[in-house]
Amino acid sequence: DIQLTQSPSFLSASVGDRVTITCRASQGISSYLAWYQQTPGKAPKLLIYAASTLQSGVPSRFSGSGSGTEFTLTISSLQPEDFATYFCQRVNSPPLTFGGGTKVEIK
C-alpha cells in the first residue's frame, strides 16, 4: 500500500507567519491528494482537493501544490483560527490513506 509521510509532525509558529507542511507519498499518486484541517473535538474540514484546488469557502491564504510524490500545504499568513492539526490524504484508489498529521501550535 502507498504510505503518506507528513512533515513536520509538529510546528510552533506565530500569527502572521508563513507555514509550509509537506506530504510525501511512497509511490506516485498524480494529483490525487487532499488536505484537511481539524480542530479539537471537531470533524475534519476539507481545505484543498486535487492537490491544489481550494475548496469553496476556504480562505485564499491556504494553498496547495505538488504532484507525483511530493506535496505541500502553505498558509501564507497564519491566523489565530488556523492553529489546528492538518492531514493529507491520497484519494486515487483504496485504501484512501491519511498522513500522520501536523499539529500547528502557537509559539
Provide CB contacts within 8 A for 79, sequence distance 6+: 15, 59, 61
| Dihedral of alpha carbons 9, 14, 15, 18, sign | negative
Per-residue cell: 100: 500522520
Region from 14-22, 47-55, 60-68, 75-83 binding another protein, contact rule CB under 8 A:
47-55
Please state, in angstroms and rounded to a whole number, the distance separating the CA atoms of residues 2 and 98.
10
Range in contact with another protein (rule: CB under 8 A) among 12-20, 30-38, 66-74, 75-83: 30-38
Considering the complex, state which of residue 74 and residue 100 has its C-beta at the smaller distance from another protein.
100
Least distance (Å) between residue 98 CB and another protein: 4
Binding site for another protein (CB under 8 A): 1, 32, 34, 36, 38, 43-46, 49-50, 55, 87, 89, 91-92, 94-101
